[in-house]
Amino acid sequence: MQLHDLTPAQGSTHSRKRVGRGNSGKGGTYAGRGLNGQGSRSGGTKGAGFEGGQTPLAMRLPKPPRLPQPPSHRVHRGERLHPRGQVRRRRRGRR
């Protein structure tokens, strides 16, 4: 027996039902969606986090704390050069 000889067991697979392909086939006219409302529209599904009008869990939980950020690169460089006298403070009013 080879890998290409394997087949699924009898009755274990079913063909997908195609609805909304005209009135002669299964599920014509409204195709199981009903007459009106959000579900009958294209793209009319609720989002993944929608909880029926209740405040979603993601909004009920507190925001994560802001962690202290390391000082920027420019601050470090200025601190290194200042003690050696390579960086001088600019005087006000002069260019």
Quick check: 8 pLDDT over 90? Answer: yes
**Contact criterion met (CB below 8 Å) for 30 and 19:** no
Locate 24 and state its tokens: 């002669």
Tens digits of residue pLDDT in 17-73: 888 888 887 788 888 888 898 888 888 888 888 999 999 999 999 999 998 887 666
Quick check: 7 pLDDT over 90? Answer: yes
Q: Which amino acid is at 76?
A: H
Q: Please say whether the dihedral angle defined by the alpha carbons of residues 38, 43, 49 and 55, taken in this order, is positive or negative.
A: negative
Task: Supply the pLDDT for residue 61.
Answer: 95
Please state the three-class secondary structure of 15-74 as a single string: CCCCCCCCCCCCCCCCCCCCCCCHHHCCCCCCCCCCCCCCCCHHHHCCCCCCCCCCCCHH
Task: Supply the pLDDT for residue 88.
Answer: 65
